[in-house]
A = this chain, B = another copy of it.
Amino acid sequence: MRARDLLADLPVVGLDDPITEAARLLARHDLPGVIVVDAAGVPVAVLPGPQVLRLAVPAYCQDDPALARVVDEAHADELLGRLHGLVVRDALPPHPSELPVTDPDATVLELAALMARTRSPIVAVMDGGRLAGAVTLRALLARMLAA
């Protein structure tokens, strides 16, 4: 059982795609995160869903729940409005940590260690310089539980 046996095709976004496109993919495909690729199609990050929201929240109430409560009721379209004009690159941390990326020969142990260490429910699988697909936490858990 290797990464190649657990591969799924997941949608990806580019660094300069609108952040609303990432939001749409997350919602439509019920993904825990979306793989971000550079112009050459090489994964540069896995963008976790909650990170997309960070850009939609005004700075003054990011760290203070009470402020978000006392302002006038925010409407869903206002949140979306704050995302307009922003691209995926804007949502990524300035200093990315270890990437959840491996190769098709990765064992289930490697996949589990990589997901645990990077806290990513998605691992991108590269084969010969191109993205071959991804392994999701769900696929790995389902395989473990069926074993």
Please give the residue numbers on chain A whose beta carbons come within 8 Å of chain B beta carbons, in ascending order: 1-2, 20, 23-24, 26-27, 30, 32, 48-54, 56-58, 61-63, 65, 68-69, 71, 73-80, 102, 106-110, 112-121, 137-138, 140-147
For the complex formed, measure the closest distance between the CB of A55 and the CB atoms of chain B, giving whole angstroms. Answer: 8
Let me know if B57 and A112 touch, CB within 8 A: yes
Let me know if B26 and A138 touch, CB within 8 A: yes
A50-B120, A53-B141 known, 9 other contacts, Cβ within 8 Å? A30-B138, A32-B121, A50-B116, A50-B118, A65-B102, A65-B114, A75-B147, A77-B144, A80-B147
Taken together as a complex, chains A and B put the C-alpha atoms of A27 and B144 apart, in Å, by 10
Let me know if A109 and B52 touch, CB within 8 A: no
Let me know if A108 and B147 touch, CB within 8 A: no
Let me know if A74 and B27 touch, CB within 8 A: no
Give this chain's copy count.
Answer: 2
Let me know if A49 and B137 touch, CB within 8 A: yes
Let me know if B116 and A76 touch, CB within 8 A: no
For the complex formed, measure the closest distance between the CB of A139 and the CB atoms of chain B, giving whole angstroms. Answer: 9
For the complex formed, measure the closest distance between the CB of A71 and the CB atoms of chain B, giving whole angstroms. Answer: 7
Given that A108-B75, A145-B27 are known contacts, is A113 also in contact with B49, CB under 8 Å in the complex?
A: no
Which residues of B have CB within 8 Å of A68? Answer: 107, 109-110, 113
Which residues of B have CB within 8 Å of A53? Answer: 112-113, 115-116, 137, 140-141
